Structure 1
Amino acid sequence: MKKAALMLLAIALIASVLAACSGSSNNGVSNSDSNSSTTNNGNTGNPRDKVTLSLLVDNNPDSIATAEKLVEEFQKKYDYITVETDIRPGGSEGDNIVKTRLATGDMTDVFFYNSGSLLQALNPDTNLLDLTNEPFMSNVMDSFKSTVTQNGKVFGVPTGSSMAGGWLYNKKVYEQHNLQVPKTWEELMSNLKALEGTDVAPIIGSYKDTWTSQLLVLADYYNVQLADPSFADDYTHNKAKYASNPAALRSFEKLEETVGLMNKDYLATTYDAGLRKLAEGEGAHYPMLSFAISAMQQNMPEAIEDIGFFAQPGESADTHGLTVWMPGGAYIYKNSPRIEEAKLFLEFIASVDGVKAMSEVAAPIGPYLIVGADMPDSVPQVVKDILPYFENGNNAAALEFVSPVKGPSLEQITVEVGSGQKTALEGAELYDRDVEKQAQQLGLEGW
């Protein structure tokens, strides 16, 4: 009986051990290993809980398409993260919504917004996550970083390609009149004068859409900075004025010199009509941002290869350079409860794969600002005309991206100067008064 009892006890012990082993192993894998799972991209680690990120974008169709494509590709890479997109209006209404949501703590985890002066108005140092030391920021070119920086901290990554500010021109008109692409303002004026009295307007004006009147002044900023490298900082701190700084005043003087060289109906011509006039050769030049190329590709594709681009010339051909408009950025709300996942999303946006995703739904209208991200070969020649200004380093961000000071009435003032109602000096003086209100609202020192 003792033997039997001992045998039963041994059998029970063996069964107990076997049961324990069975519960703690899985085909020879330890219990701690069996709880691990293969996550995205073949990485092994602890199982990921499902996470939902919120994203706010404006209602521009290109913005929505870009956001949707980025989300689609990002979720393939991180299948445990779902990104839900919220749409806001554009313009001043959208600006107010962003400011209100930040002020009330109701902001999404990530949001897309402007870079430059409009971003500064959001007080990013208080509301946005500092990305300065994130490893993925090494992918972002310094020229963009400068437009999303406050108090030495960097807050965003680009959500598209850059834009160029300069002159679109009709290459067929140039061939017919034996004109050469100008590299100095004197050469450009010579081209314009050569077209006077012909059936081709030297310059296309589209002042019905008053915002287009600003381009000639704004696109001259590269030349301003070249002549006075400290202008943006001095301007921000009320130490420099357009009317009293010779380099800045020159931008208004160039606009004044074009009076009488536009199409006769320039006050009634819209932006869309201006593009048609350029495509059809009714006008030779159109001071414009390169985003117009997208509209031309869509609405008049047969003419796109007839269009070229050059930067607004200065005084010397050796320093001929480009004023650049930066893309908007993606930002992380400082108080987001999902900071790590939000960082992964921005890391993807700031990668070559992220750029590839964006380019599938929105053709680039200028170089990308992500290291290693090239423009596709399929872009038209007019976009490729912009590349040399980046390759040789002769470019500068537009003033509104390096200074928060930009007056709301510039487009009305440039209409008056461009139509001969006011002189360049009068326009510059008006604009200097116009910017004071905004600078004071921003609480800038020296105002």
Structure 2
Amino acid sequence: MNTSLRMLGAALTGLAMAALTSCASGSGTSADGTVTLSFLVGSDESTVDAAKALADAFMRAEPRIKIKTEVVPGGGEGDNVVKTRLSTGDMTDVFWYNSGSLLRALHPSRTLVDLTGDPVLSRVKKDYLPVVSVDGRAYGVPATAATGGGILYNRKVYERLGLKVPRTWAEFMANNDKIKAAGTTPLIATFKDTWTSQLLVLGDYHNVQAAVPSFARDYTAGRARFATTPAASAGFHHLAQVHAEGHLNKGFGSATNDQGLKMLIEGRGAHYAMLGLTLPPLLAAHPQAATDIGFFGIPGDDPARHGATVWEPPAIYIAKSTEHLAEAKKFLAFVASPPAAEAVTKVVPPSGPYRVEGAELPDDAPQVAKDLQAYLDRGAATPALEFLSPVKGPSLEQITVAVGSGLTPPAQGAAQYDRDVEKQAKQLGLPGW
């Protein structure tokens, strides 16, 4: 699947095509002065549920403004719908879309309402604003909560074996040795769903930036490569090492993401390199996962720099073609508020903290969310590279499957990815490549 993990997140819970308040996309003003805003969202279940919660809560607070929501497919198909409708001036008033580097492809200065300095953004966390900004101009507000990309772990296994959360890769491997000796699978891999093979590389970006602060900028400009930057190639070497030392589950090549999560929840595996957002959809069937499963960032070499890589939440934007700008801004201001976060939490358990001032995690939030909150609170978190650079080669998941299966040496895999990235950067017309 040649898409980014942000877009993959939209496919994790299936394609539940459902209308929220209406499938219509029209907007307008009725005879009684009621204004209707049209709202486009993707079709995965958690997005549909969150968007409905936001719309319903807003309409209770602002009865003069109605929200009609249009649901489109997720992934690449929905991405094309957004780009086409923006380019033709046929976009809904407001819409749900990725944050990060993919935003640049929408040509926001031409297609979106610039919110820089607007009170709409007053409650948005300042460290979130860069992922909804292009050329210093801000365009969106966070739609949901952040999520971590790193190691999900079974806290019951850790408690039983007397293990501590590792702060270095050596400590992580030592934990794996003890887990294996106790008869439990140390690290779950699910390479049938090839996108899952990327996490030990992509989730390691906090360590890359800690070692090479200019990496994202130099990488985008064609001055840095994975194969020639030891901190960046470390993820490929880690992927090869866990396979070589026999830490993976049997049948990892044919295992699916759903099977891996179940294995983790049941304690048959201790660790799973994964996005935290995969867990909340399973809580209804496996409520114990809310407390039994924790999260830690992929450890690097320096315990003092231990932190986590964050996948920032998608955002809600206003199309420049809207005829109801004041009402659209009211909706976005509501979305970026604690009451909106509370409304979403009731239907979609958060996998991380909200990126809105005053929006606190509830006491019964999943442990993975609390663990990620701790990283953010102490300033030990870094957005994933794909939020900082538009360059992501489409073949990474095939390369990481081969490296993680022992078929390709890690240095060769990193070099293959550099060649894959170069092709994509040239297609994007980036200078320096």
| TM-score normalised by length of structure 1 | 0.86
Deviation at 1:128, TM superposition (A): 1.1
1:58 matched to 2:42: yes
Q: d(CA) in 2 for partners of 1:131 and 1:387?
A: 27
1:334 is aligned, of 306, 309, 320, to 320
1:159-178 to 2 correspondences below 5 Å: 159-178=143-162
Count how many residue pairs are aligned between Structure 1 and Structure 2: 401
1:365 is aligned, of 348, 351, 362, to 351
Q: Say if 1:278 and 1:284, in contact at 8 Å, map to a contact too.
A: yes
1:411 matched to 2:404: no
Q: d(CA) in 1 for partners of 2:288 and 2:342?
A: 26
CA deviation map 1:150-179 (0-9, x unaligned): 111111100000001111112222233332
Q: Say if 1:216 and 1:251, in contact at 8 Å, map to a contact too.
A: yes
Structure 1 residue aligned with 2:214: 230
1:441 matched to 2:418: no
Structure 1 residue aligned with 2:193: 209
Structure 2 residue aligned with 1:352: 338
* Superposed structure 1 runs of 4+ greater than 6 Å apart: none
Structure 2 residue aligned with 1:395: 381
Paired letter, 2:189: G
Q: Say if 1:296 and 1:304, in contact at 8 Å, map to a contact too.
A: no
Q: Say if 1:165 and 1:290, in contact at 8 Å, map to a contact too.
A: yes
Q: Say if 2:147 and 2:312, in contact at 8 Å, map to a contact too.
A: yes
Q: d(CA) in 2 for partners of 1:64 and 1:389?
A: 29
CA 1:404–1:194: 2 relative to 1, 3 Å: same
- Report the secondary structure of 2:152's partner residue: strand
Q: Say if 2:193 and 2:256, in contact at 8 Å, map to a contact too.
A: yes
Q: Say if 2:203 and 2:309, in contact at 8 Å, map to a contact too.
A: yes
Paired letter, 1:174: Y
Give the number of the structure whose residues are more often helix, by fraction. Answer: 1
1:431 is aligned, of 417, 425, 428, to 417
Structure 2 residue aligned with 1:79: 63
Q: d(CA) in 2 for partners of 1:235 and 1:158?
A: 26
Structure 2 segments unaligned to the other structure (5+ residues): 1-30
Deviation at 1:321, TM superposition (A): 0.4
- Report the secondary structure of 1:121's partner residue: helix
CA 1:374–1:246: 2 relative to 1, 3 Å: same
1:105 is aligned, of 82, 89, 107, to 89
Q: d(CA) in 1 for partners of 2:115 and 2:105?
A: 18
Structure 2 residue aligned with 1:385: 371
Residues 64-73 or 154-163, more deviating: 64-73
- Aligned-pair identity in percent equals 50
Structure 2 residue aligned with 1:294: 280
1:305-320 to 2 correspondences below 5 Å: 305-320=291-306
CA deviation map 1:360-418 (0-9, x unaligned): 22111101100111001111333322221011110010111111111111111110111
Q: Say if 1:170 and 1:281, in contact at 8 Å, map to a contact too.
A: yes
Structure 2 residue aligned with 1:189: 173
**Larger Rg over CA atoms:** 1
Q: d(CA) in 1 for partners of 2:182 and 2:279?
A: 26
Q: Say if 2:90 and 2:321, in contact at 8 Å, map to a contact too.
A: no
Structure 2 residue aligned with 1:279: 265
Paired letter, 1:344: K
Deviation at 1:299, TM superposition (A): 2.6
CA deviation map 1:25-53 (0-9, x unaligned): xxxxxxxxxxxxxxxxxxxxxx9832221
Q: Say if 2:352 and 2:373, in contact at 8 Å, map to a contact too.
A: yes
Paired letter, 1:320: H
Deviation at 1:335, TM superposition (A): 2.1
**Structure 1 vs Structure 2 CA RMSD:** 1.6
Residues 234-243 or 380-389, more deviating: 380-389
- Report the secondary structure of 1:346's partner residue: helix
Q: Say if 1:57 and 1:88, in contact at 8 Å, map to a contact too.
A: yes
- Report the secondary structure of 1:169's partner residue: strand
CA 1:127–1:207: 2 relative to 1, 3 Å: same
Paired letter, 1:153: R
Residues 400-409 or 68-77, more deviating: 68-77
- Report the secondary structure of 1:331's partner residue: strand
| TM-score normalised by length of structure 2 | 0.89
Structure 1 segments unaligned to the other structure (5+ residues): 1-46
Q: Say if 1:58 and 1:89, in contact at 8 Å, map to a contact too.
A: yes
- Report the secondary structure of 2:66's partner residue: strand
Deviation at 1:196, TM superposition (A): 3.2
